[in-house]
Each structure stands twice: as structure tokens, then as C-alpha cells.
Amino acid sequence: MSSEADRSLILASSSPYRRTLLERLRVPFSVVVPAIDETPRPDESPASTAMRLAVEKARAVAERHPRALIIGSDQVATLDGQQIGKPGDHRSALAQLQTMRGRVVEFHSALCVFDAARGDAQIKDILTRVRFRNLPDAALDAYLHAEQPYDCAGSAKAEGLGIALLESIESHDPTALIGLPLIELVSMLNHAGYPVLRA
């Protein structure tokens, strides 16, 4: 196994949310944006899409950083088995929230820790079930104007005002919904010989 001193830790992501989450662990890391096609494949399950993309992001960065320990992550939101993407604008976000109100949305937050030096990948999908409140259009519209979560799958930032849209969250890792499952990540880093807490 490579020693910790021989390798750097890299977050393979363009997401500012994942970067902020990783900063909580107080470990040194850099960010490299992976250049991959994130289009779901035909007949691919939401969990499979999330896990495949998490791995592809990590491996894409590994090509340029062959000794690094690389974190890849991806999230797919689903309703009735159909994937819900990032809305991109106000109108699409409002339509998403209207469809989801009073209902349960599943978020698949896939995580990959790839040891480029060893070619070893740890992969896991963390499932979070979120029940949205049955709110009127005016409340949904007011939320969107206040927070403008147009780069978030599901159009709601649970770490911000979006928590007011939610009735319940079920997950064994509360950070998974925000985009990077830190409980699982700590386990993976420990397994890879890169402990977050050191004596």
C-alpha cells in the first residue's frame, strides 16, 4: 500500500457543495474537474448511473494523477423510478417542485474512492428518501426566488432554506443528500490507509 506521504488527495468534482463538505474533514486536498459525459445510458437504473459516473469521474482524474487517492461522487434524484436532473432555470425548478410536493423522492448519492497507484476502487451508493411538504405554488415560487437552486437535482438545498420544503429525510448519512456522504467517505479513506483522525 502506498504511504500517505507519497500521495495526494483529490476531489474529482466541479461541485462547490462537495468541496465545502470535504473541507469539514480538515484534510489537505485539491480539486480537479473531470471531463466526462454525464448522460444516463438507456435502461440504466438510477443507482447504476450514479455509481458509474462516480467511478468515471475518479478514473478520469487518475489518468493525470497516477499516484493520487481520488474521490469521485455523483447524485441522481428519482421519482417513480424516473431520474430528476438539475432544473437549470426557474420554470423547470417550479415544475419539479410541483411534481414532487407531498411525495417521496429518492436520492442516490454514489461515492468512489480510487487509489490510482494500486488501481483499487471502493464504491458505494447511499440512498436517501426525502418526503416533500404539500405546499402551494406561491410558497414554492417564493422559495425559488429566495435561493435559486437551479444547479441542484430536485431543486431544493436541504442545507439552506430548502429544508422548509421537506417533511422528512431518511438516511444513515445526513451529508449524502447534500452531495458527498462523509460518514462513508471516512470509512473508505481509513480502509485506503488515509485516516482522517490521526493520533
Active site residues: 74
Sign of the torsion angle spanned by Cα atoms 77, 78, 79, 85 = positive
Contacts of 18 (CB under 8 A, 6+ apart): 11, 73, 179, 180
For residues 103, 130, 112, 71, the Cα torsion angle rounded to the nearest 10 degrees is: 120
Q: CA 74 to CA 110: how far, in whole Å?
A: 5
Q: CA 193 to CA 190: how far, in whole Å?
A: 5
Instruction: Tell me which DSSP letter residue 163 carries.
Output: G
Q: CA 123 to CA 114: how far, in whole Å?
A: 9
Instruction: Tell me which DSSP letter residue 158 carries.
Output: T
